[in-house]
Structure 1
């Protein structure tokens, strides 16, 4: 990754998902992961997507995955389990190893288990829910390093992923500079509005002065 790419991960880490979501809407880009939430409200993550796709187990069944040692530090592991909520694809052993290896976090279109450990270790996991039932003999790895879907958002390998208390957004690599710039402008305007209101200005006047509504209006094609 070049210096600009690494810098964009750092930029995303400073922004909240609400501003990034508004920026995606402004630019007409779908990147919000529907119904995916952190297993703890304190979890934060930002990094490049490392993707894995699951499918129903065959006969004989394939493995749920022994991939963890191949994931580069700083990555966000992105697991597409098709939104399944009847079997998990992530548990305590993976949490412990991922944290030790410096993985930025895990994002699942589906569920995880062993949530107590991820909270104790402070390892960020974002999923649709959690439940204890194993994915062994129920799902298997179909492919790694391929585009996947997480909560109706397409995630390609290397895309920028940001998660916080409000959920997860995915920023396609080809649009990340525009999205980050728009999100930074939105957050800057919001901060100036807060300062103005604290100083006694009416909210509607502050929003007008700092062109708040224009910042969130979708750009024309």
Structure 2
């Protein structure tokens, strides 16, 4: 059973990765933002889903020929066909984009199956085609060569490293125009509750700053009088 409730999923769509990063920092978690991974296309709705993982190791030529795709149990193919609806496929490509982690056909299949998105610390081939899909996709940079030239799919739905971040199956993945955050699943209720409050306060702050107010005492909130103004502002909304 999914540990990400429908309510939390919808609330996370209105919370930024920056806000989550700040909250997790306060909890002592400093390394939850996947490094050197960007959206293929900005401006998409926020990506939210539970992590379903795929791990690559360096390809060994005698074991990773084109013939491996004849095997119906090939891990890459199995991952694409079994990643749950609403989940995010997260790929450990060893931060190596010299060969593609996947291409537009596999991305399209994931989209059609209702998967929420795909993330790799490597690259995608057919990146322009993937960018045109109604589908969230994040990678290091475009890469034309097939994954077989460099990567060997070895394991599905086990702990991986992606962009220097530990990703465990079931962790909550949040992606926006800035990048991708990994949220430990046991913290999700607290993250949603506190980050929703932080997001509302940030809206208040932005309104105040646009009206010419100083950030001193306002951001971060250190002035009780401003705190009282915020409470009045909330009631007026």
Measured in 2, the distance between the counterparts of 1:71 and 1:143 equals: 13
Aligned to 1:181: 193
Q: Residue 55 of structure 2 aligns with which residue?
A: 53
SS in 1 for 2:148: coil
Superposed CA deviations along residues 120-158 of structure 1, whole A, max 9, x for unmatched, are: 222211111112111124321111010111111111111
1:25 corresponding residue in structure 2? 25
TM-score w.r.t. length of structure 1: 0.87
Contact preservation (8 Å) 1:54, 1:81:
yes
SS at match of 2:111: helix
Q: Distance in 1 between matches of 2:95 and 2:218?
A: 42
Residues 4 and 48 of structure 1: is their aligned pair in 2 closer, same or farther, counting only changes over 3 Å?
closer
- 1:119 shift after superposition: 2.1
The 3-state SS of whatever aligns with 2:53 is strand
Do the aligned residues in 1 keep the contact of 2:98 with 2:150 (CA within 8 Å)? no
- Deviation per CA, 1:67-102: give whole Å up to 9, x if none: 212111111001101111211111011121111111
Q: How many residues align structurally?
A: 211
Q: Does 1:85 align with 2:88?
A: no
Unaligned runs of 5+ in 2: 69-73, 228-237
Matched residue, 1:66 = 77
CA deviations on 1:11-61 (whole Å, 9 max, x unpaired) are 222211111111111111131111111111123311011101111223222
Does the CA contact (< 8 Å) of 2:54 and 2:76 recur in 1?
no
Unaligned ranges ≥5, structure 1 = 212-221
Q: Which residue of 1 aligns with 2:145?
A: 133
Contact 1:64 1:135 in 2 (8 A): no
Q: Give the deviation of 1:2 after TM superposition.
A: 5.6
Moved over 4 A (4+): none
- Provide the alpha-carbon RMSD of the alignment: 2.0
